[in-house]
Amino acid sequence: MRKIKLAVISDIHGNSVALEQVLLDAKKNNVDEYIFPGDLINDLPFGNETLELVKNTSDYLIEGNKEEYIKEYNRAHYFWNNLQFKNIIFMNNELSKENQKLVCSLPITLNLEFEGVSFKIAHGSPESVEEQIHKKDENLIDKYTKTLKEDVLVFGHTHEPVWYKRVNGKLIVNAGCMGVSPYYKSMAEYIILHIKNKEVEVEKRLIPYKTEIVREKIKKCGILDTDRVLMSLTYAALTGNGEIRHKFFVDAKNSMKERNHNLYKSDAEGIYKYFKLYDDDIWINTYNKYKNYFEF
- Tell me which residues touch Mn ion (CB under 5 A): 39, 64-65, 157
* CB of residue 57 to Mn ion, shortest distance in Å: 20
CA distance 198 to 14: 34
Q: Name which of 114 and 182 has its Cβ closer to Mn ion.
A: 182
* CB of residue 219 to Mn ion, shortest distance in Å: 26
Return the residue nearest Mn ion (CB atom).
157
Q: Name which of 176 and 287 has its Cβ closer to Mn ion.
A: 176
Q: Which has the closest alpha carbon to 16: 40, 32, 36? A: 40
* CB of residue 263 to Mn ion, shortest distance in Å: 16
* CB of residue 42 to Mn ion, shortest distance in Å: 9
Q: Name which of 65 and 286 has its Cβ closer to Mn ion.
A: 65
Counts of helices then strands in the chain (DSSP H, E): 11, 9
Q: Name which of 48 and 156 has its Cβ closer to Mn ion.
A: 156
Hey, how many other C-beta atoms are within 10 angstroms of the C-beta on 43?
Answer: 22
Q: What's the distance, Cα to Cα, between the start and end of the chain in Å?
A: 53
* CB of residue 169 to Mn ion, shortest distance in Å: 28
* CB of residue 43 to Mn ion, shortest distance in Å: 10
Spell out the SS3 assignment of 144-208: HHHHCCCCEEEECCCCCCCEEEEECCEEEEECCCCCCCCCCECEEEEEEEEEECCEEEEEEEEEE
Q: Name which of 64 and 126 has its Cβ closer to Mn ion.
A: 64
Spell out the SS3 assignment of 12-64: CCCCHHHHHHHHHHHHHCCCCEEEECCCCCCCCCCHHHHHHHHHCCCCCECCC
Q: Name which of 64 and 176 has its Cβ closer to Mn ion.
A: 64
CB 247 within 8 A of CB 290: yes
Please give the order of strands across the beta sheet that includes 33-35. Answer: 33-35, 4-8, 187-196, 199-208
Q: Which residues are registered as beta bridge partners of 173?
A: 154, 164
* CB of residue 289 to Mn ion, shortest distance in Å: 27
Angle of the 211-221 helix axis to the 229-238 helix axis, nearest 10:
170
Q: Name which of 157 and 245 has its Cβ closer to Mn ion.
A: 157
CA distance 60 to 214: 26
Q: Name which of 114 and 184 has its Cβ closer to Mn ion.
A: 184
The DSSP H or E segment spanning 75 is helix 65-75
